[in-house]
Structure 1
Amino acid sequence: MSQVDRSAKSAGLQYAADENPPLLLTGMLGFQVVTLILVGIVLTPLIVLRAVGLEGEYGSWVVFAALLISGLTTMLQARRIGPVGAGYPLFMGTSGAFIAIGIAALTAGGMPLMGTLIIAAALVQFVFASKLGQLRRILTPTVGGTVMMLIAVTVFPVIFDLLAQRPETTLGPSGAPLVATITFLITLSLLLFARGGLKLWGPLGGVLTGCLVAWSIDLLDVSAVATAPWFGLPSVAWPGLDLSFGPAFWGLLPAFIIVTLVGAVETYGDAIAIQRLSHREQRPLDFKVIQGAVYADGVGNLLSGVAGTLPNTTYSDSVAVVEMTGVAARRVAVFGGLMLVLLAFSPKLSALLQSVPSPVLGAFAFVILSLLFGNGLRMVTEGGLSYRNGFVVCLAFWLGMGFQHQWLFSDLLPPWSRVLLDNGITAGSIAAILLMLALNIGSPRRHRRSLAGSHAALGDLHDWLQEEAVAIGWDKPAVMRLQLAAEEALLFLLERRSTGGRRRELRLSAAVQRDGDLLAVEFFMGAQTQENILEQLSGLEAQPDPSDGEDAGLRILRGLVQSLDHQQYNEGEYLSFSVDSTPLA
């Protein structure tokens, strides 16, 4: 049974999410995380601009916009506003998942087209966040991990082009490969062999070392840094938006939507991880927190599109820092976000980062994309790679590769489909989603019933469950056990719901599915209960109190079911359980 052990403590936790560490410690930790993620926030959009030759025109602008939006959304994640934000220290930064499609958009229509595509995809992300509960069986980690691997292998050719550039240096054309090799080896050594928190400095250490070597052989030009002011606004004008909605927009939109949703799935995972680390006593997952994190991610993407820079996402470094330091206080993220905002108004920092040589950028991106591929691999194996899920991953991945390299009958495809299928990320993602839909359709049928969301539904619920159980051979005691479990679960939802001023009649959506020797029952109600049933069960005393009727009901439910889960979302909640379907003798 899925329960929460109140005795389980978060190991090493010094400050929980709602606690306030001293200001000096808060500032130091905020500065540390900002230093760790700064390179990724700034260099990722510069890689995209450099690949299409637009860095000189828009480089200072995207640095300004990326830092500003990352800082604002980091503070939003920490201090949620209404349903938006996680309320936990989740740092936001530029997403490397958008490198490939960002380059495609800039090639097809420049900065205005890319901004419009990002805005459109962000609007879809808001819909996704609002329907997170309903989509949880389709946009699974299997799909998200497959797309992340496709993103990495699709963008690697661009990185190889950066590494192939060999400008003249004091060492001749061999200087650039030397710089790239040293950057790569230092970064890799720190990530793989450093102890404790030192490995978190791998990307920054590699870039700094590479730049020092490049400077020693006249490959690093910092003349623009000396003339740039310490504080001010970028001299480049806002790139604007392309509202013509031509063929290039519609051709690239599916890829932007899919990658945006994959980023949302990654944020989903980070929001789960940060909850597990941020409390002194383990609690059930609050899916409203996860929704809030995805909403804030969408706000960041929307602002990125309006401003004209690559979208952002939650950085897993923030989870790693909490695990390492034991400080999960949300005010650390508030301080860190404020630092990013202040850094955005420093043209000297922008000029310094734009001076990073291409071999250093290429080596840095090589490591980042390798990690992205590894994260995708970890996502698809997180819950165990079954035969069916493994089939989805392998087939979708190689279909994406086949279409990306035009190996699969590209000359026979109609022109309208080439716009979608010539992009391996889009093709592979569509294949993964369709395969997951097929698996859900092919699984045992879920029988559904809509009932009144009140005590009056108990009679109809009993009759319906009896029909379902008898139809598969259950005897009367087994049917009664199923009915009693369903009754206690429904009473929990009804008696603890917070109506919040609702006057309309609530409806209960019930579903039953056979799962081997079990019957799985799921209730959905568009209302909020005041507590999570898993937390209530974990708080039951060892010896029951005969006078506590609510306590008795929970104990009965716990004794009847094989598994129990309760997921609370902003739009309502899902309470699911399974009962042994073996007929009693």
Structure 2
Amino acid sequence: MTDTSIGTPEQLRDPNYTPALHRAIPLGIQHVLAMFVSNVTPAIIIAGAAGFGFGSDAGAQGFPDMTYMIQMSMLFAGIATLFQTIGMGPVGARLPIVQGTSFAFIPIMIPLVAGKGVDALPVLFGGVLIGGLFHTLLGTFIGKIRFALPPLVTGLVVTMIGLALVKVGIQYAAGGVPAIDQPEYGSLLNWSIALVVVLVTLGLKFFAKGMLSVSAVFVGIIAGYLVALFFTDMVSFEGISTSMSRAAAFQVPSPFKYGFEFSLAAVIGFCLMSFVSAVETVGDVSGITKGGAGREATEQEIQGATYADGVGTAIAGIFGGLPNTSFSQNVGLIAMTGVMSRHVVTIGAIFLIICGLMPKVGALIRTIPIEVLGGGVIVMFGMVVAAGISMLSDVNWNRRNMVIFAIALSIGLGLQLDPKAVQYLPDTLRILMTSGLLPAALIAIVLNLILPEELSDESTEEVSGGLSGHGDGSLKG
């Protein structure tokens, strides 16, 4: 419900309105709490997949690198958010859009870094940089390509992203990466800690109101952390105290800290995923203007938001950050509070930037047990799947759409489950195919464009056995 004590209804719908600071600061921090865990999680997952994060033999040696990636996630989420709220020439929508590290690219990044340690980072960040530049280019014609990404395609892609990540959530909740010798993997203690996070998150989401409900995952992880700290030996400060004592109060990021390397697989993967990310941003911009101001987004706002996505991602790649995009949970927060002020979000962005410049914050996040994080990501990744299914509910499930979905899902998910099925392909093609996400998206896009629209209801029944649902499909970013 809108709090009219913050301002008049007309003021609350105005992006340029600034509430009094004693109101604006808590509202800005609320935006940060809503996205904080989701923002740093991709860096933790990629570090773990590369072999210098949680549950890896090189975890202790790779501690500074993982901490640095966490820092960059916070820093460039804040910087990219400023691009959106304040703007820079044509870059930015000048709307209350919160940027954060994107989950969408994780299935693309994992095959690029898997087991390669920090040696994989030049290729990774080279892909982030080139992909960000390509994403910026999309801003010039984003409105013209939306026809190729209807709910059938976007819903499939988002569902595939979630399905690719749920395995990570289960592994983290069970205690790490099972490929490494861990006698306690899957123990009752590990699962108990993860379930504390899940239960607290669910309780707050459904039975609390206001900030507690919005930041349920964040509070759930804090609860799990406290249980692990006081009742188990999971929280380890080994190496933390030394690292934190040696760390400067503030640290400015280094450009090309890990080098830069061109990889065709990385560039193709990041550029193709940019299409999906751009369309997601268009949907978020539309959701903000409809939910907060009761109007449609302008072409200039959509274009500026897409530019900010790309520029923010490219700059992040230079300094060791991962791709960023608009965060949908903050769109819902604007609709809930009714506060459309972009300056409120600017306050949240400044808070993120300060955290990103303080290595001690990244080091503290690094102490979170992987089981605690597992409980949080189970909820987050499950919500990604649910969001994809929600998009698919807008699809008219005739035979044509069912066949497109079936083929794309079967091939994409199948290649994810058994990467060795394409082990004899050239390296570049193999990496792209085993992501599962890219082949599924390409199949869905191509088939959607070439298969005829007109199919009879009788044909639908032949395929579905009379169980298909019918809906009025409409584009949903």
Q: Do Structure 1 and Structure 2 share a fold, with TM-score over 0.5?
A: yes
Task: Select 1:324's aligned residue among 336, 344, 350.
Answer: 336
Residue matched to 1:233 = 251
Shift of 1:58: 0.8
Residues in 2 aligned to 1:174 and 1:54: alpha-carbon distance in whole angstroms: 26
SS of corresponding position for 2:105: helix
Distance 1:395 1:195, change over 3 A: farther
1:362 to 368, 374, 384: 374
Report the TM-score, using the length of structure 2 for normalisation.
0.81
What amino acid is the match of 2:277?
Answer: G
Shift of 1:168: 8.0
| Residue 160 of structure 2 corresponds to residue 162 of structure 1 | no
Task: List gaps (5 residues or longer) in structure 2.
Answer: 1-7, 54-62, 177-181, 455-477
Q: Do 2:173 and 2:191's aligned partners in 1 also have CA atoms closer than 8 Å?
A: yes
SS of the residue 1:135 aligns to = helix
Seq. identity, %: 29
User: Partner of 2:274: helix, strand, or coil?
Assistant: helix
The 10-residue stretch of structure 1 (401-410 or 39-48) with the greater mean CA deviation from structure 2: 401-410
Shift of 1:179: 1.0
Paired position in structure 2 for 1:14: 12
Cα offset, 1:348, TM superposition: 1.8
SS at match of 1:278: helix
In the alignment, what sits opposite 1:151? 161
Structure showing greater Rg: 1
Q: Which amino acid aligns with 1:111?
A: L
Deviates more, 1:73-82 or 1:401-410: 401-410
SS at match of 1:38: helix
In structure 2, the residue matched to 1:177 is: 191
Distance in 1 (CA, whole Å) between partners of 2:426 and 2:125 is 28
* Counterpart code for 1:219: M
1:194 offset after TM fit, Å? Answer: 3.6
2:38 to 24, 40, 62: 40
Contact 1:78 1:87 in 2 (8 A): yes
Amino acid at match of 1:124: F
Equivalent position to 2:222, from 204, 208, 223? 208
Structure-1 residue corresponding to 2:442 = 430
Paired position in structure 1 for 2:271 = 257
Distance 1:212 1:404, change over 3 A: same
What secondary structure sits across from 1:97 in the alignment? coil
Q: CA deviation at 1:386?
A: 5.5
Does residue 1:220 correspond to 2:218, yes or no?
no
Report if the CA contact (8 A) 1:132-1:291 is conserved.
Answer: yes
Q: How does 1:338-417 map to 2 (within 5 A)?
A: 338-382=350-394, 388-406=400-418, 410=422, 417=429
Kindly indicate whether structure 1 or structure 2 has the higher relative contact order, using CA contacts under 8 Å at least 6 residues apart: 2
Structure 1 residue 125, shift from structure 2 partner:
1.3
Q: Compared with structure 1, are the counterparts of its residues 252 and 284 closer, same or farther at alpha carbon in structure 2 (3 Å cutoff)? A: closer
- Per the alignment, residue 147 of structure 2 pairs with 137
Query: In the alignment, is the contact (CA less than 8 A) between 2:200 and 2:216 conserved in 1?
Result: yes
Structure 2 CA distance for partners of 1:119 and 1:237, relative to 1, 3 Å: closer
Q: Larger helix proportion, structure 1 or 2?
A: 2
Report whether the alignment pairs 1:187 with 2:201: yes
What amino acid maps onto 1:380 in structure 2? L
Q: Which moved more, 1:264-273 or 1:406-415?
A: 406-415
Following superposition of structure 1 onto structure 2, how do residues 49-68 of structure 1 map, counting pairs within 5 Å? Answer: 49-55=47-53, 56-68=63-75
What are the superposed Cα offsets for residues 375-415 of structure 1, whole Å, 9 maximum, x if unpaired?
Answer: 22222334655654444333312221123334997488787
**Partners in 2 of 1:143 and 1:230 — Cα distance?**
47
* Compared CA separation, residues 79 and 388, structure 1 to 2 (3 A): farther
What is the count of residue pairs matched by the alignment? 425
Superposed displacement of residue 428, structure 1: 0.5
1:410 and 1:106 map into 2 onto residues whose CA distance is: 18
What are structure 1's unaligned runs of at least 5 residues?
A: 1-9, 445-585
Q: 1:57 to 1:386 in 2, by over 3 A?
A: farther
Alignment partners' CA distance in 2, 1:384 and 1:327: 35
- Give per-residue Cα distances to partners, 1:6-53, cap 9 Å, x unaligned: xxxx98983521222112211121112112222222232112212332
The separation in 2 between residues aligned to 1:194 and 1:387, in whole angstroms, is 43
Offset of residue 267 of structure 1: 0.9
